[in-house]
Amino acid sequence: MANISARRSVMTLFSSPACALSHGARLVIYEKGIGADIEFYDPNDPPEDLLELNPSGISPTLIERDLVLYDSRIIMEYLDERFPHPPLHQMDPVSRANTRMLIKRIDQDWYQLMDEIQFSGEKKAARAKKMLKESILSAEPVFASRTYFMSDEFSLTDCVLAPLLWRLPSLGIDLSTPSGAITGYAQRLFKRNAFKLSLSDVEKTMADAHYK
């Protein structure tokens, strides 16, 4: 493994062009201005270089010399620690632990439902779509209370939420409300230059028309 990864002189992120988890990792890279190569690939036909380092071919996979990471949230935290400016995590241990718990809940409650919508049968997908919409709408007061999610500063949590919110219009989920709190939050994320740069060509078609 060491010899293979050593052939790469630059940090490389192998990424599916449509994967929300990969999108989150790409967003962290662009928010921090990290000089990394992003290699898009078909997850149904992973490149040999990737399979040699990570036989599962899972997306995303981050390679930096002898280091190989293939969990999106671990990759995002590693990048934030490896390149500490600008910070996307608060520095004190209690705040960092609370953020990790919040991201875990977003993954369990919202990302899992999004996966069911995308990869389940029609009946289960319809149920998951209803549940996801209702669950996010129930959090509208949280979206309305601060500039970003539970914070006045852009954070790792926003990097987790942005790819999910971007995909919802293409899944038939409209989060418009009279207050516009959720769509307003989403617009703040999507207008960031790093978010625009993080989009693959496939992802650009998911919600461009909806958010113009």
Tens digits of residue pLDDT in 13-51:
999 999 999 999 999 999 999 999 999 999 889 998 888
Candidate list 13, 15, 16, 19, residue with the active-site label = 19
Residue 179 CA from chain centroid, whole number: 26
Q: What pLDDT score does 212 carry? A: 52
Q: What pLDDT score does 1 carry? A: 43
What's the Rg (C-alpha) of the chain? 17
Helix runs in the chain, H state only: 2-6, 20-32, 48-53, 72-82, 93-106, 112-119, 122-138, 140-145, 156-167, 181-190, 193-198, 201-207
Domains of the chain in start order, with CATH, are 2-82 (3.40.30.10), 93-192 (1.20.1050.10)
Tens digits of residue pLDDT in 68-126:
999 999 999 999 999 998 999 877 889 889 999 999 999 999 999 999 999 988 999 99
0.85 surpassed by pTM: yes
The answer to whether residue 159 is catalytic is: no
Q: What pLDDT score does 209 carry? A: 53
Helix (H, G, I), strand (E, B) or coil at 99: helix
Tens digits of residue pLDDT in 59-69:
899 999 889 99
Cis ω before 47 (30° cut-off from 0): no
Q: What is the rounded distance in angstroms from the CA atom of residue 167 to the CA atom of residue 125?
A: 15
